[in-house]
Amino acid sequence: MTECLGSTHLVPYIAPGQETMNYKRRVLLLISCVLYFMLLEYHFRKRPDVVTTTDWLAPVIWEGTFNRQVLEEYYGRQNLTIGLAVLATGRIADQYLELFIQSASKHFMTGYRVIFYIMVDAFYRLPNLEPGPLQTVQVLNIRGHDADDFHLMRMKNLAVHIVGHIQDEVDFLFSMMANRVFQNDFGVETLGTSVAQLHAWWYFKNTENLPYERRPGSAACIPLGQGDFYYDGTVIGGTPLEILNFIKEYLDGIMRDKENGLNSTYERHLNKYFFIHKPTKLLSPEYSWDTVLWPPAQVWLVKAARCLERAF
């Protein structure tokens, strides 16, 4: 069992063999960039109805913007391991965790080695877990509950486990909320150094009305008239160390806000981070749809959806 962070300063531990893994990751990321530019023409041609590339040349992944066969041929040779971390406490675990794991086992990175990291506050809350081929489950106990801030608890505990072992075990990592169901393949097209999820509620709205933090005294502030997209805080992905970098800045921002008597939300801190540190890949709302919304014509295939009327 691992204690939560006592401070906001995170220093990654470089274990024996970590240098080799870091070299492997650098090679993977370099080849990924080359692969992206090879597919760029295909990317533009297939979805003229949506934004498929950002101003900083990061791809926005929609159904129809990628060639699954080409990606499978490439990533199938890379000997990858992908992690999926979920924190489930109290009624979240009771209501959602079993369906989350069942659907992830069927649709998340099928055909690749996957480690499910399930962070729980009580082992008796665990449902029956039946991982599929190439899938393993690690159940991680959490401590130091921040009962008034679920996301703060989620990120503190995730940082501890990234430093302690996850950085040595996986090439890419996703952290998600448990109140979602995977409905179709959530595959290697989503992999990248730093992956942000576009918010289903806000993607199709006027950017002038996006709910950024606008108070100048907050560490999460994005000044009026600025901002790119509004990102969904329930999903974040990338390499383990990139996620660790985000957590460090998020925790530092929380501390600065407290010193100034402010209290912004986790999602607004995440949006500030991605405003400053541009993500290398964006996932369309298809990857985190909200079932209370009627899908517009641009949403071809929902990959994962939040459970109806049970958002946290």
Strand partners, 182: 304
By DSSP bridging, strand 180-182 and strand 289-290 are: unpaired
Residue 73 token pair: 């041929």
Q: Which of 189, 213, 242, 267 is catalytic?
A: 267
C-alpha–C-alpha distance, residues 126 and 211, integer Å? 35
Judge contact between 312 and 194, C-beta under 8 A. no
Strand partners, 283: 61, 197
Alpha carbon separation from 137 to 86, 105, 130, 244 (Å, rounded): 11, 10, 9, 21
In the residue annotation, 41 being an active-site residue is answered as: no
Judge contact between 92 and 312, C-beta under 8 A. yes
Q: Would you say the C-alpha torsion 245, 249, 255, 258 has a positive or negative sign?
A: negative
Catalytic residues: 267
